[in-house]
């Protein structure tokens, strides 16, 4: 809806009216402009309520100790062990296999500058 509002505002600056063929939107009349404005306000309200509820839900989850996102593939202890294995010149494929992860995940978890 935000995109449509911007387009219609651009049309108004150019003295172009907007009539929808599938919706009851007609900005060429005062009543049509009023209805479009009301619809825009309702859409914005809906978006704001959604954002507010999302923030409330995330805060409640945080208070309960729930973290968002995907669980980490390796614990801190496993990362330390993997670093020690790197220091012993054990190949990355062998280290990854030992922890049940891919080599790419190993390299993402332990970048070259922290080995």
- The residues facing 19 across adjacent strands are 26
Tokens of 83: 């670093």
For 20-64, the pLDDT digits (tens) are 888 888 888 899 889 989 989 999 999 999 999 999 999 999 999
Decide which of 39, 63, 87 is a domain's last residue.
63
pTM of the model: 0.53
- Asked if residue 44 and residue 12 are part of one domain, the reply reads yes
Is residue 70, in this structure, part of any structural domain at all?
no
- Asked if residue 82 and residue 52 are part of one domain, the reply reads no
Range 74-97 burial, b when 16+ CB lie within 10 A, else e: beeebbeebeebbeeeeebeebbe
- Asked if residue 59 and residue 6 are part of one domain, the reply reads yes
Mean pLDDT over 95-110 rounds to 96
Look at residue 2 and tell me whether its pLDDT is greater than 80. no
Is residue 71, in this structure, part of any structural domain at all?
no
What domain range includes position 51? 2-63
- Asked if residue 6 and residue 38 are part of one domain, the reply reads yes
């Amino acid at each position: 809806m935000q995109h449509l509002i911007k387009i219609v505002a651009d049309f108004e600056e150019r003295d172009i009216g907007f009539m929808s063929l599938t919706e009851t939107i007609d900005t060429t009349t005062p009543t049509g402009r009023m209805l479009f404005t009301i619809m825009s306000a309702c859409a914005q309200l809906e978006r704001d309520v959604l954002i507010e509820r999302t923030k409330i839900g995330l805060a409640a989850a945080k208070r309960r100790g729930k973290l968002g996102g995907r669980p980490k593939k390796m614990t801190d202890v496993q990362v330390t062990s993997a670093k020690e294995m790197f220091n012993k010149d054990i190949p990355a494929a062998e280290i990854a296999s030992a922890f049940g992860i891919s080599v790419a995940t190993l390299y993402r978890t332990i970048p070259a500058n922290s080995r």
